[in-house]
Structure 1
């Protein structure tokens, strides 16, 4: 009888382990898609126009560009105001300089916008990856909660069954003691 009770307790323990293994396997299957997305993000293939727009935007938004452009404009203005009349190529009010500046602004603005749009797309994808990482963490936490709940339920059940078995043993012992006292 006692051997049967011990075997039953071992079987229940094995069943608990099988349930935990099932939860772990299910969690790993749910997380596989997330892990695959994080480990193998889609590769970005850039056209030559996109590479050029990135370089122009990077250079056009730098201090180096601002300093070089300021120096060019200063040299342009100084040369055209100080040079002899026959050497001036853009006399005051610098109409050619205004045309060049307008053309640079007209070309640079859409190029920078293209680069910013691509950067927005990268940021959106980074945000999606952050979301997937958070989702993965949430799934892991949920899995841990399930494991803990299962363990607690099984532990309570095992304790209850152990107490029942102990009570039965105590009752048997009490019966044996009563029989011995009667003899």
Structure 2
């Protein structure tokens, strides 16, 4: 019987291979791609716009219809997040490729073991069939 080959933990290997900045980009990508982030951005935008539309003129800090400060902040968020999200997606894509490669290796090993078991089963079947007349 052959010794079993231990498989590597791709998730652990991937996690340990990332630099601090790559982990940060991956974390940002994971957090921004959630409904919670959408609700935060939506709420922030609604509150900002409603305040600057409905509040007394003396309390408005970004008057309608321009909303220049809101546009500036929104654009800065987009400018900073876009490359981080793309980096995070690239990292996630590499992780998915590593998982696929690992799955392929597992499948190759399983196929080889199944072939070996099939050969042994065929051999045992032949032995039983040869001995069957003797047992009657």
Q: TM-score, normalised by structure 1?
A: 0.58
Counterpart in the other structure of 1:177: none
Distance 2:94 2:38 in 1: 27
Q: How does 1:44-59 map to 2 (within 5 A)?
A: 44-45=15-16, 46-59=18-31
Q: Distance in 2 between matches of 1:40 and 1:51?
A: 18
Unaligned runs of 5+ in 2: none
User: Residue 39 of structure 1: CA displacement?
Assistant: 4.3
Q: Which residue of 2 aligns with 1:80?
A: 52
Cα-to-partner distance string for 1:3-32 (whole Å, 9 max, x where unaligned): xxxxxxxxxxxxxxxxxxxxx4xxx26xx5
Q: Which residue of 2 aligns with 1:147?
A: 120
Give TM-score, length-normalised by structure 2. Answer: 0.75
More helix by share: 1
User: 2:26–2:92: 8 Å Cα contact kept in structure 1?
Assistant: no
* Equivalent-residue separation in structure 1 for 2:48 and 2:125 (angstroms): 82
Of residues 85, 91, 102, the one that matches 2:63 is 91
State the distance in 1 between where 2:30 and 2:8 align: 28
Could you say which residue in structure 1 is the equivalent of 2:96? 123
Q: Which ranges in structure 1 are unaligned for 5 or more consecutive residues?
A: 1-23, 163-183
How far does the alpha carbon of each residue in 1:119-163 deviate from its partner, in whole angstroms, 9 at most, with x for none?
11111111112111211111112212333455566x49x77xx9x
Q: Distance in 2 between matches of 1:74 and 1:40?
A: 45
Task: Give how far 1:80 is off.
Answer: 1.3
The whole-number CA distance in structure 2 between the counterparts of 1:103 and 1:136 is 50
Q: Whose radius of gyration is greater, 1 or 2? A: 1
Distance between the aligned counterparts of 1:149 and 1:54, measured in 2?
51
